[in-house]
């Protein structure tokens, strides 16, 4: 409880401009060399990955995308919310009687 009070006091003492300012985290060299392509998951939709992989050299040579020339692609998917995610407010661990 003391920790919560301490954090709350620290948050209240922080100037509003500083609290609302954009947090610009510095990326490491390795992180800046990765191009993330994130799409909504669909098991039937692997065409985007195939198209980008086949045409990656064309994208790298494009004058608009010069910053992609040395980056590697990491494909990712985000999960669509299902009915349980929408209806359940809190995910609590199951209670086990001993």
Record the pTM.
Answer: 0.46
Question: Given a cut of 70, is residue 92 above it in pLDDT?
Answer: no
- The whole-number average pLDDT for the span 15-20 is 82
Q: What is the pLDDT of residue 86?
A: 77
Q: What is the pLDDT of residue 34?
A: 81
Phi, psi of 16 (to 5 degrees): -60, -40
Give the whole-angstrom CA distance, residue 8 versus residue 6: 5
3-state secondary structure of 41: coil
Tokens of 53: 């992989």
Give the whole-angstrom CA distance, residue 10 versus residue 19: 11
Q: Tens of pLDDT along 27-82?
A: 666 667 788 888 888 877 788 888 888 887 777 777 666 666 677 888 888 888 78
Structural contact between residues 35 and 74, judged by C-beta atoms closer than 8 angstroms: yes
Tokens of 81: 């919310």
């Amino acid at each position: 409880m003391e920790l919560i009070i301490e954090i709350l006091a620290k948050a209240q003492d922080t100037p509003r401009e500083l609290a609302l300012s954009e947090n610009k985290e510095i990326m490491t060299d390795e992180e800046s060399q990765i191009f993330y392509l994130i799409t909504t998951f669909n098991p039937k939709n692997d065409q985007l990955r195939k198209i980008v992989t086949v045409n990656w050299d064309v994208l790298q040579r494009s004058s608009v995308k010069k910053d992609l020339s040395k980056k590697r692609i990491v494909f990712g998917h985000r999960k669509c919310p299902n009915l349980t995610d929408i209806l359940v407010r809190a995910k609590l661990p199951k209670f086990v009687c001993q």
